[in-house]
Each structure stands twice: as structure tokens, then as C-alpha cells.
């Protein structure tokens, strides 16, 4: 019987942590995309949604700490899995072995995941400063900034640079989710050959739904949304 420590530090253990933390992150982005759709309902609808979230009181910071833990686990385990995979791949090269699907194809997918993951991490830092920690740095907004969250989002997307920048990041989010959700099923061992097509389709649907929902919001705010009162 292997110990918990061995299970968590083994290559397969790290993949499972990466997949489980991915489930948490996916649940968050699906909920966040859905909640943000209230932007389409205008100032009243979006601020009411923000106020409901903040009315959770102590539950909100608890959920936020959980979210930070999920994202950190996901990033650390992703880096560890990539390192293990690179080490295994260089052994395959030395032993002149071919990996499934060919080494270049595998390495392309994993490079894409690391690159899109790092872009999303950089985005997340900027995003939180811009929309979540605004109470700490803006003279215009204090601890009750969420009463004016619509105005904050509206102002951000009056800039062409923010609008186009957000849209570009959402394309990377789509790629990251498509391959990520697919390999999550793989790591959890539920992708057997009979279900491969179903899970591949499901990964594509989740990726498209989330990224397209986020993607339409910046141009909507730029071109169509009513200015805050
Ligand atoms: C068009 C795209 C997006 C818009 C308009 C948007 C908008 C917002 C807003 C207004 C907040 C502040 C919420 C509050 O204080 O209650 C927020 C928080 C946050 N957003 Fe986004 N977001 C977008 C995309 C994303 C994406 C793609 C991610 C993740 C990859 C993300 C992750 C987060 C996180 C982690 C928080 C903090 C949640 C909290 O502390 O409660 N957002 N977002």
C-alpha cells in the first residue's frame, strides 16, 4: 500500500491533482461567465448580481480563499506534470522510443497548454487588480465598489486596448479549456475508447460555451451597452 505522500508526489498523483483542481477552476469559470451575462441586462441587473454576491458576507472571502487554493494547486501541479513529461520524453529520445501520437505532436499540445496557461495567469493578475482590488487603489471607489461595478466594467471597455486585449485572452482561454478538459478526462481515467468521441465533444462544447460567452462581453460593452447613470 502506498502512502498519501507517495500518491501525491507520483507522476500519476500529480496528474490527478491537476485534473481535480481543473474541475474546480472550470466550475468557477462556468459560474463566472454565467454571472457576467447579467451585463447584458444593463446597470441594474449587473449591480444587483454583484450585490447578491457580496451579501454572502463571510462566505465570500472563504470561497475566495478556496478559489486561490484551487488555482495555485492547478498551476503548481501543471508545472510539475510538465517537468515529469519532459523528463520522460528525453528518456524516450535517449532510448530511441516513439511515444503515442509521435513526440512532436505531444510536445506541441503541452507547449500550447503551458503558454496559454501562463497568458491566463498574467491576465488573472491584471484582471483582479482591475476589477476586484479596485477598492484598494482607486480614489473613486471604496469598500462598497460593487454598488458601481457596472460603471467600472463599462469604463474599462470604453478603451479599444482593453476590449481587444480581453477578446484575445478569451481565445487562449478557449484553447486552454478545450485541451485541458479533454486531458482532465484522460487523467481521471474515464476516457476509455468507447467514450472518447463523447468526451472530446464535451470538452469542445465547454470550451466554446465559456470562451464565447466571455468573448462577446467586451465588444458588447464597447459598442452597445448603455452608459451608467
Ligand atoms: C469578459 C470577460 C470577463 C469579465 C467582464 C469579468 C468581470 C469580472 C468582474 C466585474 C469581477 C469582480 C467581481 C466582484 O468583485 O464581485 C471579476 C472577478 C474575478 N474574475 Fe472575472 N471577468 C472576465 C473574465 C474572467 C476570466 C476568463 C477569469 C478566469 C480565467 C476570471 C476570473 C476572475 C476571478 C478569479 C475573480 C475574483 C472573484 C472573486 O473574488 O469573487 N474572469 N471578473
Return d(Cα 7, Cα 9) in angstroms, integer.
6
Residue 5 pLDDT: 78
Containing structural domain, residue 139: 14-223
Task: Name which residue leads in pLDDT, 190 or 20.
Answer: 20
| 6, part of any domain | no
pLDDT per position as a tens digit, 29-66: 999 999 999 999 999 999 999 999 999 999 999 999 99
pTM of the model: 0.91
Ligand 1 centre distance from Cα of residue 110 (Å):
26
Which residue's CA is minimally distant from atom 10 of ligand 1? 131
| 1, part of any domain | no
Ligand 1: lining residues by beta carbon, under 6 Å: 29, 32, 36, 50, 53, 64, 67, 120, 124, 127-128, 131-132, 146, 149, 153, 166, 173, 214, 217-218
Ligand 1 centre distance from Cα of residue 35 (Å):
10
Q: Give which of 207, 138, 156, 153 is closest to 179, Cα–Cα.
A: 207
| 228, part of any domain | no
% of the chain residues with pLDDT over 70? 92
| 145, part of any domain | yes
Q: Give which of 82, 17, 179 is closest to 90, Cα–Cα.
A: 82
Considering 6-15, 51-60, 95-104, 194-203, the range whose residues carry the highest mean pLDDT is: 51-60
Mutate to test the pocket of ligand 1, among 74, 132, 171, 219 (most ligand atoms within 8 A of CB): 132
Residue 102 pLDDT: 52
| 204, part of any domain | yes
95 confidence band (pLDDT: 50, 70, 90): low
User: What's the domain count of the chain?
Assistant: 1
| 9, part of any domain | no
Amino acid at each position: 500500500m502506498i502512502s498519501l505522500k507517495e500518491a501525491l508526489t507520483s507522476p500519476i498523483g500529480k496528474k490527478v491533482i491537476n485534473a481535480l483542481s481543473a474541475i474546480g477552476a472550470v466550475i468557477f469559470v462556468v459560474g463566472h461567465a454565467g454571472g457576467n451575462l447579467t451585463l447584458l441586462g444593463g446597470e441594474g441587473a449587473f449591480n444587483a448580481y454583484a450585490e447578491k454576491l457580496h451579501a454572502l458576507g463571510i462566505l465570500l472571502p472563504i470561497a475566495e480563499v478556496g478559489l486561490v487554493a484551487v488555482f495555485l494547486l492547478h498551476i503548481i501541479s501543471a508545472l510539475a506534470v510538465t517537468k515529469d513529461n519532459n523528463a520522460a520524453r528525453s528518456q524516450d529520445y535517449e532510448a530511441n522510443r516513439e511515444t503515442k501520437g509521435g513526440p512532436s505532436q505531444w510536445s506541441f499540445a503541452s507547449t500550447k497548454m503551458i503558454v496559454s496557461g501562463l497568458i491566463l495567469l498574467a491576465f488573472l493578475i491584471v484582471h483582479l487588480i482591475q476589477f476586484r482590488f479596485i477598492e484598494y487603489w482607486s480614489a473613486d471607489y471604496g469598500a462598497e465598489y460593487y454598488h458601481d461595478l457596472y460603471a467600472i466594467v463599462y469604463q474599462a471597455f470604453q478603451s479599444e486596448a482593453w476590449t481587444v486585449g480581453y477578446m484575445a485572452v478569451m481565445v487562449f482561454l478557449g484553447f486552454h479549456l478545450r485541451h485541458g478538459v479533454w486531458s482532465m478526462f484522460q487523467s481521471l481515467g474515464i476516457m476509455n475508447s468507447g467514450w472518447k468521441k463523447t468526451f472530446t465533444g464535451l470538452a469542445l462544447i465547454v470550451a466554446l460555451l465559456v470562451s464565447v460567452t466571455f468573448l462577446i462581453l467586451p465588444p458588447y460593452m464597447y459598442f452597445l451597452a448603455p452608459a451608467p447613470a
